[in-house]
Structure 1
Amino acid sequence: MSKEAISRREALKIGALGTAGLAMLGATNATAATILEKDVKFDETYDVIVIGTGFAGLAAAAKASERGYKVLVIDKMGRIGGNSVINGGAFAVPNNADQKKFGIKDSKERFIKDCLKAGLGINHVELLETIADRANDTLEFAQKCGAKFKTGKKPSWFGGHSVPRTMITENMSGSGIIKPMTKFVEGLPGCKIMRRTKFDDFVMDDKDGVVGVTVRTGYRFNKKLLSDDAENTTGEKKVFRAKKGVILAAGGFSADKVYRKLQDPRIPEDSDTTNHSGATAGAMLKAFQIGAMPIHIGWIQQGPWASPDERGFGVAPLLTQQGLFKFGMAVDIRNGKRFMNELADRKTRADAEWKILRVDPKANPIAIGTYNTFDPQILPLVEKGLKTGVMKQYKTVEEAAAAYKIPVDALKASIKKYNAGVKAGKDEFGKPVKAFKGQGIEAKGPYYCVRLQPKPHHTMGGVKINTKAQVISGNTMKPIAGLYAAGEVTGGTHGASRLGSVAVTDCLTFGMIAGENI
């Protein structure tokens, strides 16, 4: 096997098997699968190199640069931000000032309990504790970088959380954090961002520590190929030294059709994803090759609020999560009945939807409600949803039922039953309707509907880190010298399924921690 490269097929084996796969492929130690310092000539030298320009990468770069380090941030794509820039801008902050202002009781313990429930108890609790302890610091840091949130208002209530604790950016998008943070980072002395610069491999010293990276500048991502496919040879090869270390913040792999299907064969190869096209597994696989411990790789979360009537993330997640799911209801079109708690954790809801779709792939459930079922802060998106066609408007229940071939009498009965539960403060599926002060679906239209289709959204698994964001070796169970990681490329924090709005908290917090500790 060449020291300079490893084939895609071999990489997939390593990704699936973890570091144990190295021995099966004939590698006797970590450096056998990568590049050694003694064999290269460095083209440029930095103190810190960050791979990825999302929440985690930019936060790490900012903190490292503020310490006086010369920092290089690289991204294989032509646009900064990855998934973070198309994220919904929702940021879970336990014990935040707005909760206290509105008398909402929260605690570190409550936050962790909520995360453990969604994660089926397999979360690495020390990471959750770190997030809970630093969340308010993280919010202040994001604001320092120029991010603006809808402060002074009651926090949003996301599925699976036991209380409202989520802050929303003013533009209801992750770009509300990424754009000002990019400007902040680029304004720091000694900090540089290079786009279309693809990370190819780690450069190791003779003690299995990370001392640099090999990259290709001028890289052109081709979404028809995998990002690290041998067929994509675009770009000029360069080698960069990182005197203090490398921070891996390359994100998840929900758009990697080959690798995600290896982990969960139930995901159709042509399945749409909420992720940007560059969300592939290549950088994570390279970390596995040098000994990083893989954690929870097979747990892939699907967004239950997504729709088949738009590509990618779109506007449906906001129209459903903070609208039709919150105050309206979801219906099985085959029988006109509700089938889930619309504010349960994501896995519970996605599983409920798949239970229908695996029987009849064309029987997409719908979310339905009236104008009063939209949170005031997302009302501007209603017209956008109608314009794009991801949401439909009907004058009457009869008209809505006819459009989706729903038994009309059953649909009317379901609405009546749901409203009665809201009024009584007790829902048959356990939805926390008591907190909604008697708001239900109005008897008078118009009625708004969105078809539902779970899409791969967040990959729970990745490299194992400790509370200092150091990557842990599966060979020694100790930190790999010079390698830190943060964000979705890491595993363990969220267990089997992540709670909505905790990704921003996780990515920004551990990005900060990586920059503080490297």
Structure 2
Amino acid sequence: MANISRRNILKMGVVGAGTLALSSINATAAANEKDVKFDEEWDVVVVGSGFAGLAAGLTTAKKGNRVLILEKMGRIGGNSVINGGAMSLPNNPVQEKQGIKDSKELFMQDCLKAGLGLNHPELLETLAKRGNDAYKFLVEEGVVFDENVVAHFGGHSVPRTLTTKNHSGSGYIHPMVEQFQKIENCELRRRAKFDDFIVNNNGRVVGVAIRENYRFDDNLYSDDLENTSGEKKIIKAKKGVVLASGGFCRDRIYRKLQDPRIPDDVDSTNHAGATAGVLLKAFDLGAYPVQVSWIQFGPWASPDEKGFGMAPLLTQEGMFKFGFAVDVRNGKRFMNELADRKTRADAEFKILKEAPNAYPIAIGYEDSFRLINPDVVKKALSNDKLVGVCQSLDEIASKYGVPLDGLKESVKKYNEGIKAGNDEFGKPVDQLKGELFKENGPYYVIRLSPKPHHTMGGLKINEKAEVLSSKTGKPIEGLYAAGEITGGTHGASRLGSVAITDCIIFGMIAGENI
């Protein structure tokens, strides 16, 4: 573990608590442009190569700007390239084709409910207004959506989630990277780590200090104080800097400062580089911290695979929709499988707190996966360490230590709820159109364990994606941000499939406003 000084630990804790911005008391000040020599000059510098960074880079490059995108890892895309590729858009073209009625107001209501009303309304309203702009932008950049499927993710009142053909964030990242790299005088640079800001005498951000040939070390956390790899460079950004470096779910020091209940060794759905370094430097600069201690756990994850894995693809639009989850101690259902993420994760945590190894199980059958790309299903089901195949309820009971009587009673009550159109946990069973849970196998079973998935809080931005100063309440000139590094849009808990919406829209907006 990195030897992080007491001062740095206290600094991170203070910022995370959302108290005074450190720049007003003891900040490690950004360098002044008069004290440095610029090695390179660009119009715009974007930090991060995921959804938000590429949307910002493409948008501003198409205005004629020379753009440099920096990626600290050796691989492009961060969390974006490994996520499930689901994007929620109210009133989208596929909804219209299928006759699904939706509205911007309903979308906002659903987000507010999941976010416990802590969402910043002006940011949420921006998502509702600009959704179809984002859809058009992505299609123009070569993203291919599955035009036959509109998914119903947990917490949404109606199906409104689109997915890429390959059910992966790579379906966005690869074509966007390809389009960006075609633009003359623009560059996407890997293993280039942001270290600090360069400002002028008025406090405007005019550049960044970076390290090229940086080698990320997964044994170090937070702001990588011991990792000195790479060669230093000073980059001028004539028109602005966009922060799109994502969240900090893999930052074991910083996430625990925000929520001490998170064990040091708990697995996360995030890629290794999801740490807090860029966020902390922005706080040092004087950016407003917003809701940094709200960390979302993915309720569809499994302890039987590392990271994001395949389980969420099978559970979210498969087992949770056409099947159910039970407590292995008694065989009984314990939640609405299509509730928002926090509600479901809290229900699972309650079981695991009482019995740490009693992982709840999700149960489905072959038909449960019909809305998912068959190639994805085939690949996931081939992993027998993740997915258990049982020929009967008796076999599930025997293999997973579930009381058979309780399991059979759960099937009976679930089917009675479908027939009556009134599920005991409030699951919207009307969508199942009378489809009962099958009483004969084979069944597919996945063990469940919530994993840190998304950090709700971060930098406060306005509707123009400008980062606001804690000193003045006004934008920090030359500094923009988009995606998971920002806070306020999602409140206490992000509604599933709204992350890509957020990243693309505010990435576009940052690019438009520079």
C-alpha contact 1:160 1:499 (8 A) present in aligned 2: yes
C-alpha contact 1:272 1:311 (8 A) present in aligned 2: yes
Aligned to 1:375: 370
C-alpha contact 2:149 2:371 (8 A) present in aligned 1: no
Aligned to 2:330: 335
Aligned to 1:194: 189
Matched, 1:9 2:9: yes
- Out of 333, 357, 363, the position equivalent to 2:352 is 357
Q: What are the superposed Cα offsets for residues 114-136 of structure 1, whole Å, 9 maximum, x if unpaired?
A: 00000000101111111111111
Aligned to 1:394: 390
Distance in 2 separating the partners of 1:299 and 1:512: 25
The correspondence of residues 50-449 of structure 1 with structure 2, limited to 5 A, is: 50-151=46-147, 153-226=148-221, 228-388=223-383, 389-449=385-445
Matched, 1:483 2:479: yes
Give 1:25 deviation, angstroms: 5.4
Distance in 2 separating the partners of 1:294 and 1:81: 25
The correspondence of residues 476-515 of structure 1 with structure 2, limited to 5 A, is: 476-515=472-511
| Amino acid corresponding to residue 398 of structure 2 in structure 1 | A
SS of the residue aligned with 2:382?
A: helix
Count of paired positions: 509
Q: What are the superposed Cα offsets for residues 147-194 of structure 1, whole Å, 9 maximum, x if unpaired?
A: 10001x241000000000011100000000000000001111221100
| Cα distance change of structure 1 residues 379 and 421 upon mapping to structure 2, 3 Å threshold | farther
Distance in 1 separating the partners of 2:292 and 2:198: 24
C-alpha contact 1:102 1:154 (8 A) present in aligned 2: no
Give 1:13 deviation, angstroms: 3.9
SS of the residue aligned with 1:20?
A: coil
Q: What are the superposed Cα offsets for residues 259-294 of structure 1, whole Å, 9 maximum, x if unpaired?
A: 001101111110000000000000001000000000
| Cα distance change of structure 1 residues 376 and 306 upon mapping to structure 2, 3 Å threshold | same
Q: What are the superposed Cα offsets for residues 8-59 of structure 1, whole Å, 9 maximum, x if unpaired?
A: 43642453244625278545xxxx5221111111000100000000000000
C-alpha contact 1:372 1:441 (8 A) present in aligned 2: no
Give 1:201 deviation, angstroms: 0.3
Give 1:424 deviation, angstroms: 2.1
Gaps of 5+ in 2: none
Distance in 2 separating the partners of 1:141 and 1:444: 46
The correspondence of residues 30-45 of structure 1 with structure 2, limited to 5 A, is: 33-45=29-41
Q: What are the superposed Cα offsets for residues 196-233 of structure 1, whole Å, 9 maximum, x if unpaired?
A: 00000011111111110000000000111126322111
SS of the residue aligned with 1:211?
A: strand
Q: What are the superposed Cα offsets for residues 90-111 of structure 1, whole Å, 9 maximum, x if unpaired?
A: 0111001111121111001000
Distance in 2 separating the partners of 1:70 and 1:382: 42
| Cα distance change of structure 1 residues 23 and 211 upon mapping to structure 2, 3 Å threshold | closer
Distance in 2 separating the partners of 1:136 and 1:89: 17
| Amino acid corresponding to residue 257 of structure 1 in structure 2 | R
- Out of 448, 461, 465, the position equivalent to 1:452 is 448
Distance in 1 separating the partners of 2:13 and 2:85: 35
| Cα distance change of structure 1 residues 42 and 464 upon mapping to structure 2, 3 Å threshold | same
SS of the residue aligned with 1:450?
A: strand
SS of the residue aligned with 1:483?
A: strand
Distance in 1 separating the partners of 2:16 and 2:488: 16
Distance in 2 separating the partners of 1:374 and 1:386: 10
Matched, 1:470 2:466: yes
| Cα distance change of structure 1 residues 261 and 6 upon mapping to structure 2, 3 Å threshold | closer
Distance in 2 separating the partners of 1:480 and 1:509: 20
Distance in 2 separating the partners of 1:163 and 1:464: 30
Give 1:377 deviation, angstroms: 2.5
Give 1:438 deviation, angstroms: 1.2
Give 1:7 deviation, angstroms: 6.9
Distance in 2 separating the partners of 1:316 and 1:285: 32
C-alpha contact 2:360 2:448 (8 A) present in aligned 1: yes
List structure 1 segments (4+ residues) > 6 angstroms apart after TM superposition: none
RMSD over equivalenced CA pairs, Å = 1.5
Distance in 2 separating the partners of 1:202 and 1:6: 24
Gaps of 5+ in 1: none
Distance in 2 separating the partners of 1:35 and 1:18: 24
| Cα distance change of structure 1 residues 479 and 19 upon mapping to structure 2, 3 Å threshold | farther
| Amino acid corresponding to residue 67 of structure 1 in structure 2 | K
Distance in 2 separating the partners of 1:405 and 1:68: 63
C-alpha contact 1:19 1:289 (8 A) present in aligned 2: no
Give 1:439 deviation, angstroms: 1.5
SS of the residue aligned with 2:408?
A: helix
| Amino acid corresponding to residue 434 of structure 2 in structure 1 | G
| Cα distance change of structure 1 residues 220 and 11 upon mapping to structure 2, 3 Å threshold | farther
Give 1:380 deviation, angstroms: 3.1
Distance in 1 separating the partners of 2:209 and 2:256: 28
| Amino acid corresponding to residue 321 of structure 2 in structure 1 | K
C-alpha contact 2:115 2:493 (8 A) present in aligned 1: yes
C-alpha contact 2:165 2:373 (8 A) present in aligned 1: no
Aligned to 1:20: 20
C-alpha contact 2:198 2:207 (8 A) present in aligned 1: yes
| Amino acid corresponding to residue 452 of structure 1 in structure 2 | L
| Amino acid corresponding to residue 245 of structure 1 in structure 2 | G
C-alpha contact 1:197 1:216 (8 A) present in aligned 2: yes
Distance in 1 separating the partners of 2:14 and 2:276: 12
Same amino acid, percent of matched pairs: 60
Farther-moved stretch of structure 1 (212-221 vs 5-14): 5-14
Aligned to 1:517: 513
TM-score (norm 1): 0.96
| Amino acid corresponding to residue 32 of structure 2 in structure 1 | L
Distance in 1 separating the partners of 2:6 and 2:134: 38
C-alpha contact 2:13 2:258 (8 A) present in aligned 1: no
Distance in 2 separating the partners of 1:262 and 1:227: 11
SS of the residue aligned with 1:208?
A: coil
Give 1:383 deviation, angstroms: 3.1
